[in-house]
Amino acid sequence: MVVAVDGGVGAVSERLRPMVEGGPQGPWWEELLGWLTGSGNGDIDGDGSAAILTTVLETDAGPAVVEWTAVPLPDNTVALFGRDVTIETRLRDALADSRQRFRDLVDISSDFAWETGPDGRFAYVSPEGAMGYPAEALVGEPLERLLGEAGELSRSLFEARRAVNRAELWLHRSNGEEACVVAWARPLVDENGAWRGARGLCRDVTEVRRRDAALARAHNRDRLLAHIVRALRDEIDPERMLGQAASAIANALGAEGCALYRGEATSGFRRVTEFRSDAAPSAPFGEPALLDAARRAEAPWPADSATAIGLAVATRGRSVVNGVVAIWRSPARGDWDEDDRDLLDAVADQIGVAFLHVAYLERLRAQAERDGLTGLLNRRAMMGYLAPAFAGGAEGVLLYVDIDHFKAANDAHGHQSGDAALSALTGILGAVVGEGDLCGRFGGDEFVLWLPGADRRKGEGVARALVEKGRALGEFSAGPDRPVGLSVGVAPCRAGSGEPLDRAIERADRAMYRAKAAGRGGDLAGAWFTLVPEAAA
């Protein structure tokens, strides 16, 4: 298109003709004329050099960007050549916008971008800096500023020869702490394909990894604790329950030994079970030390020796110290860490509850096995303890004890007096039985003693002592003609005789009745009589 200085239009190309028919108009034309009339300012020189202007035209297909080139002609007109640069302009704008978007995202993100050169130094670090360093403190510095003593894997990422995605490595912060980062990297090459460095992004995931590690430890702790709780829950017998718990605790904590103690911090503990592996060293703490530490400790406390490292913690039931859990292993297996302490602390809570459960079961057993008035074993419990001994052919002596004229005394003085007589007899029995002997109330005024390992002579000595001490019960008598005393039947049992328990009790009972018959014919209350197996046959 040829345009005169005054805006007149001369020759027009076919493509441009539809836009200028009827006279060109619109912002693009006004802008173009303003540019042409400003030629005196040097935009279009009279020496024939070209000038370029870009305008936007409204077309049926939408806005079009046209680049105009103006060439002055000798007749004081200008030849305008228009070129559609819409696509180029949009591509250029999109590229600029993309670059700005990238810069903005890098600036506001927690990631940091970097670029390294072939000399192993940082050529660029995003404006916010990295790992606590400002950007200017890293640019030009060697990679070791961030890598520290990191291995070849970390260095190879910052000198990437190929694309790297989501690599995890550790860097040094400016305060000396280590930071875990996830990194992406791409190599940089020149036009000849020669390596010129690398660039990439690093994302600080230290806190994420710490949370993940904490969750993993908590999950592992819960899993191990659940295993220990199952060991406590799946066993009914208290002794076996605590034994399995000690084994489970040792295995869960990597210990070679585990001991459980029950008791009170004010009175002392007793060891109720212990687990040891084949190669377990001796425990590094004694029971007095455990007692003293449990009185004061609020958390697991260590105890070490030359051959073992130990860890112990007090257990609590209803907020009161009721025991101790102690574990140990050889020093070669490493010291206890914080996870071990946390798990042992959690285990102690469960063992404290288990000790309460055991104490409750013991009370129930005592109530089920003991006579309510005398506190002695009842008939059912006594038979339960004697049955295994007789099944194995045990040796010992059975004594069957009966109170003479007890019913008459009860009728004369009342049941309270009778209960007092039974309580007094309980004291007499306690004075004559030894450690390991069994004593039970079979019902009413009848009692049975079992002296394991005793011979006939010892049994008769105990019977004689009972009869003599039993004369103190005379104060409960209904009258001089019905004195309260003891009749004792003695039934020695030979080892391996095969005599059933019920036969032995029957023999002791018959011996007691013979003693009762003999005693009532004498001047003094009470008597004893021995009936050996041959005489009973």
Q: Of residues 150 and 469, which shows the higher confidence score?
A: 469
Q: Mean pLDDT for the chain?
A: 85
pLDDT at 407: 92
What CATH number labels 216-367? 3.30.450.40
Number of H helices, E strands in the chain: 16, 20
The CA-CA-CA angle for residues 520, 524, 527, to 5°, reads 60
3-state helix, strand, coil in the chain (%, to 5): 45, 30, 30
Question: pLDDT by residue (tens digit) across 333-367?
Answer: 999 998 899 889 988 999 999 999 888 888 888 88
CA torsion sign for 304, 309, 313, 314 is negative
Q: Quick: pLDDT tens for 32-44.
A: 777 777 644 445 5
| pTM of structure | 0.53
pLDDT of residue 520: 60
Helices 338-369 & 206-233 angle (0-180, nearest 10): 20
| Rounded Cα distance, 232 and 239, in Å | 11
Q: Above 90 in pLDDT, residue 429?
A: yes
For the segment 306-311, the average pLDDT, to the nearest whole number, is 92
Report the percentage of the chain scoring pLDDT > 90: 43
Strand partners, 127: none
| pLDDT band, very low/low/confident/very high, at 461 (cuts 50, 70, 90) | very high
Q: What order do you get walking across the sheet with 112-116 strand by strand?
A: 122-125, 112-116, 195-204, 178-189, 164-172
Categorize the per-residue pLDDT at 386 as very low, low, confident or very high, splitting at 50, 70 and 90.
very high
Q: Is the dihedral of CA 265, 267, 272, 277 positive or negative?
A: positive
Strand 377-378, strand 438-443: pairing: parallel
Cβ proximity of 203 and 182 under 8 Å: yes
Separation in Å, CA 103 to CA 97, 124, 126, 204: 10, 13, 9, 19
pLDDT score recorded for residue 526: 64
Average pLDDT of 197-205? 92
Token pair 């007793």 in the structure block, residue: 270
In which band, very low, low, confident or very high, does the pLDDT at 380 lie, cut at 50, 70 and 90? very high
Look-up of token digits 């006939």: 456
The encoded tokens of residue 138 equal 């890293």
Q: How far is CA 510 from the centre of its chain?
A: 64
Q: Which residues are 441's β-sheet partners?
A: 378, 447
Measured distance CA(43)–CA(383) in Å, rounded: 126
| CB 68, CB 54: distance < 8 Å | yes
Give residue limits of the domains in the chain: 2-90, 109-204, 216-367, 377-536
Give dist(CA 420, CA 409) in Å, integer: 11
pLDDT surpasses 70 at 317: yes
28 or 412: which carries more pLDDT confidence? 412
DSSP class of residue 231 equals: H
Amino acid at 90: R
210, pLDDT greater than 70? yes
Q: What is the mean pLDDT of residues 443-468?
A: 94
For the segment 116-148, what is each residue's pLDDT rounded down to a tens digit?
A: 999 999 999 988 899 999 999 999 999 988 886
Q: What is the pLDDT of residue 522?
A: 44
pLDDT tens digits along 230-283: 877 887 788 888 999 999 999 989 999 999 999 876 777 889 999 999 989 998
Q: What is the dihedral of CA 156, 159, 162, 166, to 10 degrees?
A: 60
Q: How many CB atoms lie within 10 A of CB 234?
A: 10
* Residue 6 confidence (pLDDT) above 80: no
| The pLDDT value given to residue 41 | 41
Least confident residue range of 3-7, 17-21, 72-76, 212-216? 17-21
Question: Does 296 or 226 have the greater pLDDT score?
Answer: 226
The C-alpha atoms of residue 376 and residue 366 are separated, in whole angstroms, by 10
CATH fourth-level superfamily of 109-204: PAS domain (3.30.450.20)
| b/e code 246-281 from CB counts within 10 Å (16+ = b) | bbbbbbbbebbbbbbbbbebeeebebbbbbbeeebb
SS3 79: strand
- pLDDT tens sequence across 42-63: 455 555 556 677 777 777 677 8
Contact call for residues 2 and 77 (beta carbons, < 8 A): yes
Q: Does residue 536 surpass a pLDDT of 50?
A: no
Number of Cβ within 10 Å of residue 369's Cβ equals 16
Q: How many beta carbons lie within 10 A of that of residue 323, not counting itself?
A: 29
Closest CA to 120 of 77, 158, 150: 158
Q: What is the arithmetic mean of pLDDT over 152-175? A: 88
* Nearest residue to 428 (alpha-carbon basis) of 456, 386, 464: 464
Q: What is the pLDDT of residues 465-521, one digit of tens each?
A: 999 999 999 999 998 888 999 999 999 999 888 889 999 999 999 999 999 888 764
- pLDDT at residue 530 tops 60: yes
For residue 523, pLDDT beyond 50? no
Same fold, 109-204 and 216-367: yes
> Per-residue pLDDT for 97 more than 90?
no
**Count of positions (residues) in the chain:** 537
CATH of 377-536 among 3.30.70.270, 1.10.10.10, 3.90.79.10, 3.40.50.2300: 3.30.70.270
Q: Which residue has the higher pLDDT, 396 or 497?
A: 396
Q: Which of 360-364, 447-451, 474-478, 526-530 has the highest mean pLDDT?
A: 447-451
Whole-angstrom Cα distance, residue 348 to residue 342? 10
Q: Tell me, what's the pLDDT at 42?
A: 47
pLDDT of residue 149 exceeding 70: no
Alpha helix segments (H runs only) across 254-337: 287-296
Query: For the residues 208-217, what does the mean pLDDT come to?
Result: 88
Cα separation, 201 vs 461, in Å, equals 96
Give the burial string for 13-23 (b: 16+ CB within 10 Å, else e).
eeeeeebeeee
Residues 419-429 have a mean pLDDT of: 94
Average pLDDT over residues 447-475: 94
The enclosing H or E element of 183 equals: strand 178-189
The secondary structure of 39-54 as a DSSP string is GGGTSS-TTS--EEEE
